[in-house]
A and B are shown apart, each in its own frame.
Chain A
Amino acid sequence: MTGETPSSPQAAPARLHAAAPPRHRQATVADRLIANGSVVSIAVFFLVVCLLFSVGTDAFLTRPNLLNVLRQSAPLLIAAAAMTFVITTGGIDLSIGSVLALVSALSAALLQFGVPWPLVILLMLACGGLIGAIQGYFIAYEGIPAFIVTLAGLSIVRGTALLVTGGYSIPIDSGSPFVVIGRAWVFGVPLPALIAVTMLVIAFVVFNETRFGRYVTGIGANREAVRRAGVDVRITTLAVYVISGMAAALAGIILAGRLGSGSSNAGQGFELEVIAAVVLGGTSLFGGRGTIVGTILGALTVAVLANGLILAHMSPFLTPIVTGFIILVAIWLNFRLFRGSLRSR
């Protein structure tokens, strides 16, 4: 019996078994692709969808149309980037559609009262952040599931928006600089698209290159481990809901500016569209696994679909149907093709 003595690695005992090639090799390109399977699969979907519409329609692959897609999807991209943080902690924020509506209605109302537009923007961002902070408090400090807290938030905030406006939409004077945010073009690019790209770059850096981003992933993977490492997990959790609320407010400002009116009925189902984009991008609803790049691709896929179907003279009502199928197939592909990278989750 060779196992009796406490063997030291230096003693190199005689091998009982035939030598085998080493079981670990440096990660190859294929390994890396599979490890990032969820991002790869949504990238493939995105390219296929773009290719189909480029071939199938004349108008899709033109500069004005592509910029238009970016302009229209700016609110979705911004909210989805923030939602990636929330979902990666293992949470969810269902209230963002309502926050968007409240902000668009309130900003229109405040502008009508003659409040200067920069102040309106600051107030609205603060309002979104405050709603997020209140929800985050109940989730992080009182331990109530995020689904329940933000479901209540969805109802309360939408109700408040309806109450403030009486259900009417409030026009914004098209001479106001406020509408510039939604309509202006800078260096040949729509301003909303520029804002969205800026936000996405910030989100990417914060998510991947800062301690905060690390702890967001860590909390989703093993909250207790992060707590024991001396990190204040409660303030971190609260912060992601503040980010989500502020992002929804920014989306609401851009939308109100673009449409030139604030409506308490804006953003119906917006939260589901955002969650769909995030999940489509490969972020796990169970937490611990998130990707900003995947989220961008997911959101753009949804946006391109809506745009392309209209250009192809198909019913716009097909969009949700196709989106739904793509979510199902993309997730299914992740489970089948890239099972190794998903493991137990």
Chain B
Amino acid sequence: MTTTPPPRVRMTGISKRYGPITTLSDVSLTLAPGEVLGLVGDNGAGKSTLSKILSGAVIPDAGTIEIDGETVAFTSPADARARRVEMVYQDLALCDTVDVAGNLFLGREPRRRVAGLPLLDKPRMHGDARAMLDRLGIVIPDTRQKVETLSGGQRQSIAIGRAASFDPLVLIMDEPTAALAVAEVEAVLDLIRRVSAAGVGVILITHRLQDLFLVCDRIQVMYEGRNVAERRIEDTSIAEIVDLIVGHKFEARSAGHSREQTS
């Protein structure tokens, strides 16, 4: 870690209300460059809303967002993208019937002029896609494969690779390891490490607590729209995080096994 006066992201006093329901109440969040922050909480705790505020999809009622010490106001995802904040949604947003390279370059396909006509530069697209995948260590044999033929982990990797290729300062990932096979989880976690090692601040939203301990530097726990705890990874355990998420001592069998492991 380098010395980091102003943090990459500082969100302070963020509040959001939907009708009678206060979704977020005076929430704050900080993120250093190259740091991986785990954002956890039960369903409805407000972690999705918080991440959508940072990615520009939701506008907060109150609070400020600073990026590298500069106050920003996002009114759309395009604003956030212009400040190099990228988000990988849970539904991945891939086109199944388009090939790997086509998905990586969707919306910014390289073109070349043939007889004055702007046609797709497919050789360059596949070459660049190959380089992009290799750089991130994503194993996909053929960039001409259609995305529908890929496994869940490969699809996830493509979505992350696509976001990473925009050269973001901040990358938000919503449940990137849900519903993946064991080896694929490892591959995606490796990919997250590699992205953060390049200096990208990563916010990881997940219900798979064991993943947090493999990649995160810090965990922030939310409960009913509030920040309730923040722990450095070396100072905590899965059992403590579970207790913090549910709000009381919790003897879940799913936590019992991990308790022995980590404490």
Contacts and interface: CB of A to CB of B under 8 A. Distances in A.
Interface in B69-98: 77-78, 89, 91-98
B186 A222 contact: no
A338 to B, nearest CB: 14
Interface in B91-127: 91-98, 102, 106-109, 111, 117-120, 122
B97 A221 contact: yes
Given A209-B119, A214-B102, A229-B106, A221 B96 contact: yes
A230 B78 contact: yes
B202 to A, nearest CB: 16
A8 B97 contact: no
A343 B106 CA distance: 23
A229 B96 contact: no
B137 interface: yes
A343 B189 contact: no
Interface in A199-214: 205, 209-211, 214
Contacts of A3: 182
Interface centre among B107, B111, B118 (most CB of A within 10 A): B107
Interface residues of B, number: 31
Given A9-B137, A24-B141, A222 B120 contact: no
Contacts, number: 74
Interface string A53-79: 000000000000000000000000000
Interface in A222-266: 222, 224-226, 228-231
B97 A214 contact: no
B109 A214 contact: yes
A217 B119 contact: no
Contacts of A222: 93-96
Interface in A1-17: 3, 6-9
Nearest to A35: B146
B119 A288 contact: no
Interface string A181-223: 0000000000000000000000001000111001001101110
Contacts of B106: 214, 218, 225-226, 229, 231
Interface of B: 77-78, 89, 91-98, 102, 106-109, 111, 117-120, 122, 137, 141-142, 148, 182, 186, 189-190, 214
5 contacts: A7-B186, A211-B118, A218-B98, A218-B106, A229-B93
Interface of A: 3, 6-9, 24, 26-27, 205, 209-211, 214, 217-218, 220-222, 224-226, 228-231, 288-289, 343-344
